[in-house]
Amino acid sequence: MSFDVIVVGEGIAGLAAARDCARAGLRTGTIEQLMFGGLVTSINELVDWPGEGGEPRSGSDLAAELITEAADAGVESLGGSATGLEPADGGRLRVHADAGTYEARCVIVASGAARRPLGVPGEDAYAERGLSHCADCDGPLVKGADVIVVGGGDSALQEAAVLAHYARTVHLVHRGTAFRARPSVKALFDQAFAGRADALQVHWQSTVSALEGDDGIEAVVLAGPSGPVRLAARAVYPCVGLVPNSAWTGLATDAGGAILTDGRLATSLPGVFAVGAVRAGHGGRLVDAVADAALAARSVKESLQC
């Protein structure tokens, strides 16, 4: 099956890029192994993307809007998981996927990133047994309990703000000495704990060194400036960064695995562009993802007109 452009990934950046390419009259296909929308679908209230009238909007709502716009524009969703990328005859590109092999004149890599693990021995055994990545999803399950949030950026403070409505105590564990979150997220965080100062404990210059529990997480051991600290906890929410999903591409990356791009978002392989969290230098916000998508779509159109 042949396309003008294939977009790998149906997160916010991928859906917006596919929509823009299809609206330009290009035959566009998308490949996505998981549910459309990406990591943003786990957020119930988007800080930097309100709905009409300024009311809160969820990540699922935004993703549903974009998938509808993409489908209406003529984007073909191919499903499956991309496994490889290589040049093909006639200056075209070949994308291998578990559901088949496709050719295109251009490819936009929007495969996003996965949540970085804590790196604690035995961590995988606690998946869905106290180790969580969605406070909006399971906040009610920890009502009245003590929980741990690890990190100091936007995601960590957003998770803590949600958990403030349910948990007895939120322990916020951060390896640094100051939060990195944007002012808008910090304001949301401060508002959530207003009048409940006793419900928040911040552990600066600390990391998680062990998870304990038989049937699920029961306690967490921290390594901090004063030595080990053991905290009783029912759940842990790691927010310690992302790992770009770039290994399948074979493209040039930085030391962290993020794909290197130029000012047009072109990669080391001619005809291939990268957008969103998978590329080096991505701003990390929804507005940055949509801006990447628009630029990549323009770059594709310019490339195909040459």
| DSSP reduced 3-state for 238 | strand
| β-strand partners of 3 | 104
Q: Which residue has the higher pLDDT, 218 or 59?
A: 218
- 39 within 8 A of 11, measured Cβ to Cβ: yes
Measure Cα distances from 88 to 96, 104, 125, 301, 306 in Å: 11, 9, 42, 20, 18
- Cβ neighbours of 38 (radius 10 Å): 25
- Distance from C-alpha of 72 to C-alpha of 134, rounded to nearest angstrom: 31
- Distance from C-alpha of 298 to C-alpha of 99, rounded to nearest angstrom: 28
Element (H, E) at 298: helix 286-305
| DSSP reduced 3-state for 291 | helix
In the chain, count H helices and then E strands: 6, 16
User: For residue range 1-23, what is the model confidence (pLDDT) as tens digits?
Assistant: 899 999 999 999 999 999 999 99
| β-strand partners of 95 | 85, 102
**What pLDDT score was predicted for residue 85?**
97
Read off the pLDDT of each residue in 115-129 and give the average, rounded to a whole number.
93
User: For residue range 143-202, what is the model confidence (pLDDT) as tens digits?
Assistant: 999 999 999 999 999 999 999 999 999 999 999 999 999 998 999 999 999 988 899 999
**What pLDDT score was predicted for residue 235?**
97
**What pLDDT score was predicted for residue 52?**
67
Tell me: pLDDT of 50 over 90. no
Tell me: pLDDT of 119 over 90. yes
Tell me: pLDDT of 258 over 60. yes
- Distance from C-alpha of 110 to C-alpha of 91, rounded to nearest angstrom: 21
Read off the pLDDT of each residue in 77-85 and give the average, rounded to a whole number.
92
Tell me: pLDDT of 266 over 90. yes
Instruction: Give the rounded percent of residues in the chain with a pLDDT score beyond 70.
Output: 97
Element (H, E) at 200: strand 200-203
**What pLDDT score was predicted for residue 195?**
84
The residue type of 168 is R
- Distance from C-alpha of 157 to C-alpha of 269, rounded to nearest angstrom: 38
Tell me: pLDDT of 109 over 60. yes
- 21 within 8 A of 7, measured Cβ to Cβ: yes
Read off the pLDDT of each residue in 269-276 and give the average, rounded to a whole number.
97
Tell me: pLDDT of 62 over 90. no
Tell me: pLDDT of 61 over 90. no
**What pLDDT score was predicted for residue 43?**
74
Q: What angle do CA 270, 252, 241 make, to 5 degrees?
A: 125
Residue with tokens 């962290």: 256
Tell me the pLDDT of the chain averaged across its residues.
93
Residue with tokens 């770059």: 299
Q: Which residue has the higher pLDDT, 46 or 119?
A: 119
Q: Which domains does the chain have, with CATH numbers?
A: 2-114+242-305 (3.50.50.60), 117-238 (3.50.50.60)
Backbone angles phi, psi at 133, to 5 degrees: -125, 15
| DSSP reduced 3-state for 81 | coil
